[in-house]
Structure 1
Amino acid sequence: MTDRPPRPEKTRPEKIRCDACPVMCYIAEGRIGACDRYANQGGRIIRCDPLTVLDRRIAKGDEVKPFLKADWDGTLSGDDLFVTAVGAGTTYPDYKPAPFIVSRELDGADFVTVVTEAIFSYCGVKIKIDTDRHLGPEGAVVRAKGEAVGLVITSEYGSQMLSLGGVDHLTGGSKPEGRVTCDTLLRLCNREAVELSVDGGASVIVQAGQPPIVDGQREERMRVGCGSATIGMFASQWQGLVDEVVVVDDHITGVVSEHQAGKVLGWPDTGIRIKGRRSTPGRYFQVAEPGLGWGGTDITDPLTILGEWNPKKGARPGLTLLMVSTTGEQFAYYTLDDDLVPQPRDLPEALRASVELIAENCEPALCTVMFMGGAGGSLRSGVTKNPVRLTRSVQDEKTRVTVGGAPAYVWPGGGITLMADVTRMPDNAFGSVPTPAIVAPLEFTLPRAEYRALGGHDDKARSVDDILEHGGDYGADVRAVGPVTGKDGA
């Protein structure tokens, strides 16, 4: 029996540990980590996406393109280019300086922009949905893929509001709840369409900058105002063309003959009776339940909100009535018969223009997604050796905060609680890590003297041209995009 040749030893590719997030993946050569954001290339951890620079010399809205060093003559002005944190890499673990500390001159003054991708466990989105249609009762749970991800909050003028995410959903519930919440936030922040359902309410497809789709119906316009406001705007245009106008609205239904606007115009009484709760003359609350019908109510027949007409107060056969919603999408025209019962009639051409004017004054219905996060904790160590000084500098408005180059609103009070519009950021500005948490681009811009005063890592500051030429610890790939806002974010 012949001896078998020795089997070749199996070699496993050497793995290196990535410290860009708390998961600390071991990544083999040529592979990427669990976050799909970092990879092992040649025994070095690199960021998979290129560093994104806002370039004012590229037309607004232009498609993302590589930044070609061959096309760059090495000259620039301080406000031409703004280095965002998109693709920059992270400060985690936060004992080290931020990936990029950019030195540049603006209007003759030295400024520093500190650039980092921040890991947010304390974050979420606030969503404004332009619609009168009832999405669900205030406080109702909002779900994605069956998991609770947020709640309905107080509605605003012409819009329904949702609050999604937060640390309790990301880390305080079950693992599926945390994963779905993180995925939902990530997709919303990256301007993808997400289907949400409200307990006891509607299903809605939300996408930043796009019309909402409520129970399969695409919204086209938000209301011009409540029923009372609509009468205030258009009462004079109805005078002499119709005897009575009712603007149906879930919040405040208006009646022109009783309304202050009608009284100022000398509008005669009609003997109309509304079944809702009277607030002030010509203004009625709770005429119906909230829903997907006329003016955000649950009605499909507007006559259901009317009681019997009173002949002692002006009701008479032949009296004409226009009923219209606050968007002009629904309207109906009636005359009273001999029994003072409204009978439907074709809308006269003379009134059609006023209905069309209501529609014309309605703005397009859109979804607005605002990223909101608490930029506190140790990420501030990537900016300064004394973190509280950064917080105070931001609160004193000496340091400006941007998110992917987009301006951020910083809430008053303690900490750095910020909010920014995701439609003003470059594409795919957000990422995630499996902890789960959202990764958002974050930039702090301040005068260099202020940066030194707050104990910043001034020795790590680099010029823009050096960054474009050599990149950083997470790679040298750079791309340029036209500013979404038409500004450089500085």
Structure 2
Amino acid sequence: MTEHTKVDHSTDNLDEILPVTAGPTVLERSKPRSANMASNKVECNACPVLCQITEGRTGACDRWGNVDGVLTRLDPVVFMRRLPEESTDVPGQEYALQETDTGDELFVSGVASGTTYPDYKPAPFIVSSKLDGVDMVTVVTEGIFSYCSFKIKIDTDRYLGPEQANIRHKGEIVGHVTTAEYGSQMLSLGGVHHLTGGSKKEGRITCDVMMALGNKEAVELTIDGGAQLVVQAGKAPIVDGVEEKRMRVGCGSAAIGIFAKQWFGHTDEVVVVDDHITGVLTEHQAGKCLDMKSSGIKMKGRKSTPGRYFQVANPGNGWGGTDISDPLAIIEGFDPEVAWPGLRLLITSTTGEHAEYFELDDTLTPQRKPIPEPLQKTVDRIGENCEPSLASVLFLGGAGGSLRAGVTENPIWLTNSIKKALVNVTCGGAPAYIWAGGGITVMVDVLRMPDNSFGYVPTPAIVAPIEFSMTREDYERLGGHMADVLPIQEVLKQAKYRVINWVDPSSPWPLGQKPVLG
């Protein structure tokens, strides 16, 4: 990422990235040239940096350039094509418009659309189209987000680091560990305090990390007092150099309940090791319901309800997300008044990646034995029920009043219309969850968005696509910029664009879906 402002950013291949269809994406004269600015420059007002750009070059963000004295958005705006039923076309692949295409099968995304900044003007595209005979309007823009972050869900029971621990990239703090969820560890990266509240280097590196994550690239992270990670949306996370394979089937107690009947008759005791809740079959209610005889096992840790133990070991990268490599380390022994020689004991982890079988000798000491075939089948079934370990990346951002001004002269009407489910909000066409409460706080899965949806401005801030879709009647009612509405067929004639197939066929078509409200 470039680190400069108000500089000429040379691009030798500028001619190659100029419009391949009629007209530039956004054609906008800069404000009057200041007295101390050279005659061959334009001042870009697409963000607060105000780069002065020489003809044939780009600004610091590489998104805007000086084309024949005109400030121009260089990348083609992304149109998304609704796939016909039973289509075999590849999602996300480039598509060449045919003569039979009417334009109503297209959705104008905010990707590369341009921005409303400095916010006195309507959105770059306000597009009318039809859906099943209904007149629709979509307002399209690239939002400049300082108040934004990425929430990372990592499917693993490995210990990544203490809650609230700092997360670093290239030595700079870019986020923190947040509360773990069932079967997953959670990270929060970015945010306004890292972007603008620290040093310039911290802000720049935070912006680097955020843009890479949003654009589905791999990012290396280090957690203070914890693990080193490689995280990429939709890919298995790499923890301390080891690629994760499985997300646990459940906690130790849940695993006991799920597989108790399958263990019954093949073993006398089962311990499922888990950093959260370690389960013991004969003490668990599932074992009681099966009328299993007590084994007399004595567990370390803090006993919760029957058959459930907390804190049997410290968190770590061993069995069940603990720090143990020997499963007998969490067993204190067996009650000689209850246990018996020959007692059969299976110990397994919540993913089935670790499992060992023991039988008690005459001194009630566990002796390792090969796992019997019926028990091996149950261990394999635990693994079969574990989903693949993935990293999920969700963008979370607040759409401020300035962005809303590009939709309507009275921004509160837009907010109220969203809350009333009259306006659907998407990001790059992907369904966005709207948080409850004031404002427009959106959250979206980046895997559902087109590739390279995110950009930046060197203030620094993240640039992300956002679209507002509604009926034409509702748009007029909320005080929309009706004079700037263009039929989608006219936009196709004027704009530099590219068309891709709908990225995520499982997502509803933006013009037909209802808002996902908090």
The count of residues paired between Structure 1 and Structure 2 equals 470
Aligned to 1:169: 194
CA contact (8 A) 1:371 1:419 kept: yes
CA gap 1:115/1:370 in 2 versus in 1, 3 angstroms: same
Alignment partners' CA distance in 1, 2:203 and 2:92? 33
Give the deviation of 1:64 after TM superposition: 3.7
Alignment partners' CA distance in 2, 1:308 and 1:34? 67
Aligned to 1:484: 503
Match of 2:267 among 242, 250, 253: 242
User: Is 1:433 aligned to residue 457 of structure 2?
Assistant: yes
CA gap 1:467/1:192 in 2 versus in 1, 3 angstroms: same
Aligned to 1:286: 311
List per-residue Cα deviations over 1:292-334 (Å, max 9, x = no partner). Answer: 0000001111100001210212x11111110000000000111
Alignment partners' CA distance in 2, 1:64 and 1:98? 27
Structure 1 stretches of at least 4 aligned residues deviating more than 6 Å after TM superposition: none
One-letter code of the match for 1:334? F
Give the deviation of 1:488 after TM superposition: 3.0
CA contact (8 A) 1:231 1:254 kept: yes
Aligned to 1:29: 55
One-letter code of the match for 1:167? V
Which runs of 5 or more structure 2 residues have no equivalent in the other structure?
A: 1-37, 512-518
Alignment partners' CA distance in 1, 2:430 and 2:95? 21
Give the deviation of 1:196 after TM superposition: 0.8
CA gap 1:339/1:60 in 2 versus in 1, 3 angstroms: farther
Q: TM-score, normalised by structure 2?
A: 0.89
* 1:372-387 alignment, distance < 5 Å: 372-387=396-411
CA contact (8 A) 1:221 1:365 kept: yes
CA contact (8 A) 2:207 2:462 kept: yes
Match of 2:66 among 31, 37, 40: 40
CA contact (8 A) 2:92 2:450 kept: no
Alignment partners' CA distance in 1, 2:450 and 2:73? 17
Aligned to 2:152: 127
Aligned to 1:6: none
Give the deviation of 1:425 after TM superposition: 0.4
SS in 1 for 2:451: coil
User: Is 1:417 aligned to residue 441 of structure 2?
Assistant: yes
**Quick one: percent identity of the two aligned structures?**
60
One-letter code of the match for 1:114? V
* 1:456-467 alignment, distance < 5 Å: 456-467=480-491
CA contact (8 A) 1:409 1:420 kept: yes
SS in 2 for 1:467: helix
CA contact (8 A) 2:268 2:345 kept: yes
Alignment partners' CA distance in 2, 1:52 and 1:26? 27
CA contact (8 A) 1:121 1:437 kept: yes
User: Is 1:65 aligned to residue 86 of structure 2?
Assistant: no
Match of 2:102 among 75, 84, 106: 75
User: Is 1:158 aligned to residue 183 of structure 2?
Assistant: yes
Aligned to 1:185: 210
Alignment partners' CA distance in 1, 2:460 and 2:88? 36
CA gap 1:60/1:441 in 2 versus in 1, 3 angstroms: farther
Alignment partners' CA distance in 1, 2:263 and 2:168? 44
SS in 1 for 2:297: coil
Alignment partners' CA distance in 1, 2:387 and 2:95? 37
Match of 2:119 among 70, 94, 97: 94
Alignment partners' CA distance in 2, 1:101 and 1:55? 18
One-letter code of the match for 1:424? R
CA gap 1:74/1:232 in 2 versus in 1, 3 angstroms: closer
CA contact (8 A) 1:60 1:483 kept: no
Alignment partners' CA distance in 2, 1:405 and 1:67? 19
One-letter code of the match for 1:364? P
List per-residue Cα deviations over 1:189-228 (Å, max 9, x = no partner). Answer: 0000001111111011110000000000100110000000
User: Is 1:362 aligned to residue 381 of structure 2?
Assistant: no
Aligned to 2:515: none
Give the deviation of 1:13 after TM superposition: 7.3
* 1:222-233 alignment, distance < 5 Å: 222-233=247-258
Aligned to 2:473: 449
One-letter code of the match for 1:488? W
Aligned to 1:388: 412
CA contact (8 A) 1:335 1:343 kept: yes
One-letter code of the match for 1:394? I
Alignment partners' CA distance in 2, 1:191 and 1:322? 41
CA contact (8 A) 1:74 1:465 kept: no
CA contact (8 A) 1:245 1:322 kept: yes
Give the deviation of 1:482 after TM superposition: 1.2
Give the deviation of 1:74 after TM superposition: 5.2
Aligned to 1:341: 365
Alignment partners' CA distance in 2, 1:377 and 1:369? 26
Give the deviation of 1:41 after TM superposition: 1.5
User: Is 1:16 aligned to residue 45 of structure 2?
Assistant: no
CA contact (8 A) 1:59 1:482 kept: no
Alignment partners' CA distance in 2, 1:65 and 1:469? 18
Match of 2:139 among 109, 114, 131: 114
Q: Which is worse superposed, 124-133 or 444-453?
A: 444-453
Aligned to 1:8: none
SS in 2 for 1:204: strand
Alignment partners' CA distance in 2, 1:75 and 1:234? 56
Give the deviation of 1:455 after TM superposition: 1.0
Alignment partners' CA distance in 2, 1:59 and 1:470? 30
List per-residue Cα deviations over 1:96-154 (Å, max 9, x = no partner). Answer: 00000011122222211000000000001111000000101111111111111111111
CA gap 1:322/1:74 in 2 versus in 1, 3 angstroms: closer
SS in 2 for 1:311: coil
Alignment partners' CA distance in 2, 1:378 and 1:316? 74
CA gap 1:61/1:429 in 2 versus in 1, 3 angstroms: farther
Which runs of 5 or more structure 1 residues have no equivalent in the other structure?
A: 1-11, 472-476
Alignment partners' CA distance in 2, 1:253 and 1:436? 46
| Cα RMSD (Å) | 1.4
CA contact (8 A) 1:204 1:214 kept: yes
